[in-house]
Chains A and B, each alone.
Chain A
Amino acid sequence: EVQLVESGGGLVQPGGSLRLSCAASGFTVSSNYMSWVRQAPGKGLEWVSVIYSDGSTYSADSVKGRFTISRDNSKNTLYLQMNSLRAEDTAVYYCASHPDYFDYWGQGTLVTVSS
C-alpha cells in the first residue's frame, strides 16, 4: 500500500525558514515525479514544486528562489526547504506523486507564517 506522511510544519515568523519532509512507503520516490501542493486556509489547491525522476526540479513563480525541493533516495523521503517565508505562504502543504495527475497524496502538514 502506498503511503505518504508529511511532517515539519509549524509556526514560523515572516522571513524565517522551515523544512518539510514527506516519508514514502509502498513505492520508490526516486522513480516517480513528486510534487508539493499547498492549500491556503479556505482556498483552493496550488502546485508548488516538482522533482522529476531524473532529479531535475521546477517551481511555481510564487516560490521560485525561496523554496527548494529535494529528495533522499536512501530514506525514500521528499523534502521542501522553505526560506524567506511570507504570510501568504501560510497553507497546508501536501506531498503527492504523479505522472500527469496526482494519484497519491499525503495527509498534509500546516505551515503558519505569522509574527
Chain B
Amino acid sequence: QSVLTQPPSVSGAPGQRVTISCTGSSSNIGAGYDVHWYQQLRGTAPKLLIYGNSNRPSGVPDRFSGSKSGTSASLAITGLQAEDDGDYYCQSYDNSLSGWVFGGGTKLTVL
C-alpha cells in the first residue's frame, strides 16, 4: 500500500489527453511538500518529468504538465504519442515517515 495513491492504469488514443491523479494526506502533499513526477519506460530507469509541482526539466516536451491542489496533484499529457506508453510515478516527502514517498505508479497505455 503506497503512501501516495494513483490509479493503476489509464489509456488513451494517439492525440488525446489523459490525466493521472496522485492523492496524499496532511503529512505529505497537504503539508505543503512539492510533488514531482517520473516517467519509466519499459526496462529503463525512472526519468524526472515534472518537478516542483509544475516545472519541466530541460528537454521535456510541453505536452506534459503538472498541478497541485490541497492534498492532491495531477499530471496531464496532451497530444498522446506512442512513445508515452509506460509507467508514471508521483513523489513527495512525508514528515511523519521522515522520508521520500512514491505513488504506486500508473500504467499508461497508448491505444
Contacts and interface: CB of A to CB of B under 8 A. Distances in A.
Interface string A59-100: 011000000000000000000000000000000001000101
A100 B29 CA distance: 13
Contacts of A61: 97
Contacts of B100: 35, 47, 50, 98, 102
A44 B48 contact: no
B23 to A, nearest CB: 15
Interface in A36-53: 44-47, 50
Contact of A102 (B91, B97, B101, B105): B91
Contacts of A94: 45-46
B24 interface: no
Given A100-B36, A101-B34, A47 B46 contact: no
B101 A47 contact: yes
A3 B51 CA distance: 20
A101 B48 contact: yes
Interface stretch (A8-16, A24-32, A105-113): A105-113
Interface of B: 2, 33-34, 36, 38, 45-48, 51-52, 57, 89, 91, 93, 97-105
The 9 closest A-B pairs by CB, nearest first: A101-B36, A47-B100, A44-B105, A105-B45, A45-B102, A101-B51, A44-B104, A103-B48, A47-B99
Interface of A: 35, 44-47, 50, 58, 60-61, 94, 98, 100-103, 105-108
22 contacts: A44-B102, A44-B103, A44-B105, A45-B46, A45-B89, A45-B91, A45-B105, A46-B102, A47-B101, A47-B102, A58-B99, A60-B99, A98-B100, A100-B51, A100-B52, A100-B93, A101-B34, A102-B36, A102-B38, A103-B57, A106-B45, A108-B45
